Amino acid sequence: MSSVPVAVVTGSNKGIGFSIVRALCHQFPGDVYLTARDPSRGQEAVKKLQEEGLSVLFHQLDIDDLQSIRALRDFLKEKYGGLDVLVNNAGIAFKMHDTAPFAVQAEVTLKTNFFGTRNVCTELLPLVKPYGRVVNVSSVASGLALGKCSRELQQKFRSNTITEDELVELMTKFVEDTKKGVHEKEGWPNTAYGVSKIGVTVLSRIQARMLSEKRKDDHILLNACCPGWVRTDMAGPKAPKSPDEGAETPVYLALLPSNADGPHGQFVSEKTVQTW
């Protein structure tokens, strides 16, 4: 079993994820894994970084596929005895002009962005070693969507005692409400992406609380962050930030020094804790 520290970035064959891997290759003192759904795209991305003289490894990961997540979990357990840095970056967004019905967009978006991310955390968080760092890439869209929720929903999402089961129930209800065509009446905003990222941000707060309660002496820090508006396939060519600039906040959180006691359970943008 290797005693080398290990970092994993989900959905990292392009865009912000690719830039996070590149930065970690420069700064993280251990093995860095680029992951992708499609092995050929993943290997192609690895090759690009190797051509830059960087040392990077590849492992297949489709966060929509529980077997794929568990294969990565077993591999990390066997080879490294755990995990030091996890960056949950994988996510999807429908384009503004997409004609898919809103209910379809809601189901597909939440399946990956919330439920897929949650499954990765369920399987991999128990592997995170003492002084480990976990970064869940959310979005400023989560805060904007929260502001458009009914007051009752806002109170539930902002609660310091909301449980993971209650959050899952709310995310499931959103999808069901869109199918019934009653989501607005039920107090939801008209953004599937925004609601999926509310889920990621609130999930991060819950996970951090659990780590503080159950593994206090392990000094693990877990946060959600917004990389900003970045020029990627997802956000389009007009965005002001390059992918490397978008990677700055996630990488900052992934590399918080071992003597840091925060941020933890926060929503961070531009390396600064934001009010949620």
Instruction: List residues with catalytic annotation.
Output: 193
Task: Categorise residue 174: left if φ over 0, alpha if ψ from -120 to 50, beta otherwise.
Answer: alpha
3-class state of residue 164 by DSSP: helix
Q: Determine the Cα–Cα distance for residues 246 and 232; give it in Å rounded to an integer.
A: 10
Q: Within 10 A of 244 (CB to CB), how many other CB atoms are there? A: 15
- Residue carrying the six token digits 């489709």: 62
Q: Determine the Cα–Cα distance for residues 183 and 127; give it in Å rounded to an integer.
A: 37
Q: Determine the Cα–Cα distance for residues 55 and 135; give it in Å rounded to an integer.
A: 22
Q: Within 10 A of 198 (CB to CB), how many other CB atoms are there? A: 31
Closest CA to 271 of 230, 240, 225: 225
Q: Report H helices in the chain.
A: 15-27, 39-51, 66-80, 102-110, 117-124, 140-147, 151-158, 164-180, 192-214, 243-246, 248-254
Strand bridging mode 221-226 / 57-60: unpaired
